[in-house]
Amino acid sequence: MSELIVIGYDDTSVAKKAFKAVQELQKNHVVDLNGLAVVSVDEDGETHVDTPAKSEKVAVSATAGALWGMVLGIVILTPAVGVVGAAVGGLIGKLSQMGIDNDFRRKVDSLLKPGSAAVVIMATKVTEDKFAAAMQSFGGTLLKTSLAEEDEKALAEQLAGPE
């Protein structure tokens, strides 16, 4: 099971500091990451996604990386409502079954206003008390949902496509 955690900040510089803190938490085995990004929205409303440098090991496998990319894209970059292709629509439907529904996506969207940022974390393990203690100094608004292991596997299979 993975946890999807989004922490919204009014200040991009604070989000970048929190992002670095999560990287340290991984090094200290407080969190095992499948994905990590800081998503910022500039004053023109344009969304920017920064992920750890290639030297940082985050995705544990190609499948985990693909799953992370899809989750990040659906949660952050795809409009909550609107016209999408059948394949993306199917993936959105699958994510909704996994607990990443339009309500969660709307809450994430409400965190991302011009000039703000969010740290987006997908983790297979989080030592809650240590994570909370380390992140408390940054403040922010926390949103969290869980992804069941069976659902992650089904989504990974859907991402792989027919054999």
Residue 95: φ, ψ to 5°: -65, -35
Contact (CB, 8 A) for 73 and 67: no
Q: Is the pLDDT of residue 114 over 70?
A: yes
* Number of CB atoms found within 10 A of residue 111's CB: 21
Strands (E), 2-116: 2-9, 31-41, 47-50
Mean pLDDT score, 132-142: 96
Per cent of the chain over pLDDT 90 is: 31
Mean pLDDT of the chain: 76
pTM above 0.95, yes or no: no
Mean pLDDT score, 26-45: 89
pLDDT at site 29? 94
Give me the sheet containing 47-50, strands edge to edge: 47-50, 31-41, 117-126, 2-9, 141-147
pLDDT at site 65? 58
Which of 114, 116, 93, 123 has its CA nearest to residue 105? 93
Query: Who wins on pLDDT, 50 or 72?
Result: 50
